[in-house]
Structure 1
């Protein structure tokens, strides 16, 4: 009920009025039955724009911390995620990734749409990075087709670190559904899962026209954090000078 209110009454009409979305290939999303919506990830606003442009509910999972924030901001974030049908998952333990996949598998087995970002995190620079094989495992375990979708300019509208988006036309492109039934019964085979994941990432690269980098995005982010920490240390006064 809350999802429908957010989509059709609150967010949907305002999104169309302010950002006048240009959506290509929306007909590639099946009208019934399970499917995996696999998207590139450029901005926080991806989770707003894309699901609101699909006629059916697209369920994503998000870390539980988004649902437990304090104060007005925490309350607003929680209401947004609840209203858009996002499911909280505890990602603090060692089985965090599996817990997220199990949750999405239940969504698919109920005949619904499950959304996933194969890169696992937002792109640090707009390029497309190596996909994690969870999306392949999900496809194999559920038998669902994968619909690739790309956000073409979300990083221009809301760059990382920016709270308020720029007023600019949103551009989204859906590709043809990918069928991996030829690999039925091969879940757990890491070579098969890598091949499926790479095929999905290739489709995202073709649809987006973005440069592909065969490295995990999180590795780049970790390197950037380490470099930033090193820079701060180098610029900080020494203990003797600060005394």
Structure 2
């Protein structure tokens, strides 16, 4: 209930009024049943605009700290992230990636939509980077379709390292569902996982028109920061959840 209050009564109408986000291919997202929405990640605003274009709730995983901070601030923080469709990573696993997978499986098991950023972190320069194979493993273990998503223009609204940039009309483009049932039972084969992930990233690239770099975003950011330090300048480093 709080989610719908937040989306339609508070944040949603304001975002729609100011930014007027556009949508293409929303008919590719099922009106019911589970699916994985695998998106590029240009800005921290992506998780606001992408779900806003759909009539269904899209759930993401977030750091557990967002839900465990004590005091009044922590209470509001927990309500905001919960209401905006985010759930804490299940830390019963060995690490964060395993915890994210466990949480995602629970969400899909309830027949819901699960959103994931295969790059694992925001792009610092607008390019599309190599995907982490967690999305492939999730697709095989859950046996649900993967819908590639390209969010365009959010890096203008909220550029890396800044809270706000400029007003523009973001575009959210949904591709046709990808079925990987032909690989059933091969979720532990790293070559299959890489092949599936690359196919998903190719579709995201095709939808969004980004330049693709066959390098993990975290590596690219580190190299960029190194180069900027050598030039006497500082780089910016966005953080996001990683599934690998």
Shift, 1:89, TM fit: 1.9
| CA distance in 1 between partners of 2:79 and 2:228 (Å) | 33
Q: Is the 8 A contact 1:107 1:113 kept in 2?
A: yes
2:97 counterpart of 1:97? yes
Counting only pairs closer than 5 Å after superposition, residues 64-143 of structure 1 correspond to structure 2 as 64-68=64-68, 77-89=77-89, 95-143=95-143
Bigger-Rg structure (1/2): 1
2:35 matched residue in structure 1: 35
Deviations 1:199-228 (A, max 9, x none): 000000100011000000011122334455
Q: Is the 8 A contact 1:127 1:213 kept in 2?
A: yes
| CA distance in 2 between partners of 1:69 and 1:164 (Å) | 25
Shift, 1:124, TM fit: 1.3
| CA distance in 2 between partners of 1:122 and 1:74 (Å) | 25
Q: How many residues align?
A: 232
SS in 2 for 1:172: strand
Counting only pairs closer than 5 Å after superposition, residues 157-176 of structure 1 correspond to structure 2 as 157-176=157-176
Q: Which runs of 5+ in 2 are unaligned?
A: 234-244
Cα gap change, 1:152 to 1:72, in 2 (>3 Å): farther
Q: Which runs of 5+ in 1 are unaligned?
A: 234-243
Instruction: Please report the TM-score for the alignment, with normalisation by the length of structure 1.
Output: 0.88
* RMSD after superposition: 2.3
Instruction: Please report the TM-score for the alignment, with normalisation by the length of structure 2.
Output: 0.87
SS in 1 for 2:188: coil
Deviations 1:31-67 (A, max 9, x none): 1111000000000000111112111111100112333
| CA distance in 2 between partners of 1:69 and 1:82 (Å) | 13
Shift, 1:163, TM fit: 1.1
| CA distance in 2 between partners of 1:179 and 1:206 (Å) | 17
Cα gap change, 1:124 to 1:73, in 2 (>3 Å): farther
Shift, 1:162, TM fit: 1.3
Deviations 1:48-90 (A, max 9, x none): 1111211111110011233356898766654431211201127
Q: Is the 8 A contact 2:90 2:103 kept in 1?
A: no
Cα gap change, 1:76 to 1:228, in 2 (>3 Å): farther
| CA distance in 2 between partners of 1:74 and 1:219 (Å) | 33
